[in-house]
Chain A
């Protein structure tokens, strides 16, 4: 009878236990740790990849290396100008450095994975093909023939 709020027995409202809060947050943490990957390099060029509806997923993310092509970001434009540049790892490079870059990326992989290496070309949609063709020719020269043009799904 007294269960349903008898007027005379005033009970203290028990404090909400916050002991499990940390568990919840840890679970969130693990979720993000598993689903995301580390951002390896800092972008020094502005890249807006073009849209393509038929894009497929890159299947082995660990076997990919990235070549960014685009205009330098605004804070670096005073130094490097607004012409399209190639960025490998963390710095601006010319197309002659691609050979070393590919070689070192290859070196870092295990023997069996090397033929599966994919070079991901992340070029801005406004760059001219000239620079992309140069990169492609250089990649052919160091026989990194598996490439991927990075694109994004078009917005619905």
Chain B
């Protein structure tokens, strides 16, 4: 009796098996990452404690309202969404030291060791229950855009680079110098403007 050779295992079907697995993963998984606008909500005030009025100087606050018919009001004047970004930028930067716009505070940026004027401006965003989510996000986006552009300008002036190209530390400093303070106020009804 001669020795028989063991026959090779037919491997042509492994490809089919792998294809099946591949199809399974393609169907059950999602690609791409979530993107969005990150926010931090203020903590709920303790009902036992007396609510103390946060004293923010009138000049340091800009009130952006969105009415139930998606109209945008800055202070008391109605404004188009395309103009909102520049309005907010002007408010936060206050280039001419207008007494009606937020004052600045000289602040030492830790780690960097430079003292820069930091605006005290606060954006207060108010909306109505009937405001559409789309309009709300559009306004939020414009506000973030205003801050991002200011950060970019600051980075350009101080580091000669755009904000995105700075190192992590430098980005932190710029964030401290140009803070993004958007207060999402308690819900309230915004009167529709006439």
Chain A interface main SS type: mixed
A130 contacts B12, C-beta separation under 8 Å: no
Q: For chain B residues 6-52, which have a beta carbon within 8 Å of chain A?
A: 11-12, 14-15, 17-19, 21-22, 25-26, 28-31, 33-44
B191 at interface by CB-CB < 8 Å: no
B30 contacts A132, C-beta separation under 8 Å: no
In this complex, the member of A38, A133, A148 whose beta carbon has the largest number of chain B beta carbons within 10 angstroms is: A133
Mark each residue of chain B from 161 to 184: 1 if its CB lies under 8 Å from any CB of chain A, else 0.
Answer: 000000000000000000000001
B14 contacts A57, C-beta separation under 8 Å: no
B187 contacts A52, C-beta separation under 8 Å: no
Q: How many residues of B contact A (CB 8 A)?
A: 46
B37 contacts A54, C-beta separation under 8 Å: yes
A11 at interface by CB-CB < 8 Å: no
Mark each residue of chain A from 123 to 155: 1 if its CB lies under 8 Å from any CB of chain B, else 0.
Answer: 111111110110011011101011111111100
Using Cβ atoms and an 8 Å threshold, which residues of chain A touch B14? 22
B38 contacts A56, C-beta separation under 8 Å: yes
Using Cβ atoms and an 8 Å threshold, which residues of chain B touch A148? 34, 36-39
Across the interface, B25 reaches (CB within 8 A) one of A32, A49, A123, namely: A32
B21 contacts A50, C-beta separation under 8 Å: no
A125 contacts B137, C-beta separation under 8 Å: yes
A18 contacts B127, C-beta separation under 8 Å: no
B43 contacts A143, C-beta separation under 8 Å: yes
A residues at B contact (CB < 8 Å): 18-19, 21-22, 25-26, 28-29, 32-33, 35-39, 49-58, 61, 64, 118, 120, 123-130, 132-133, 136-137, 139-141, 143, 145-153
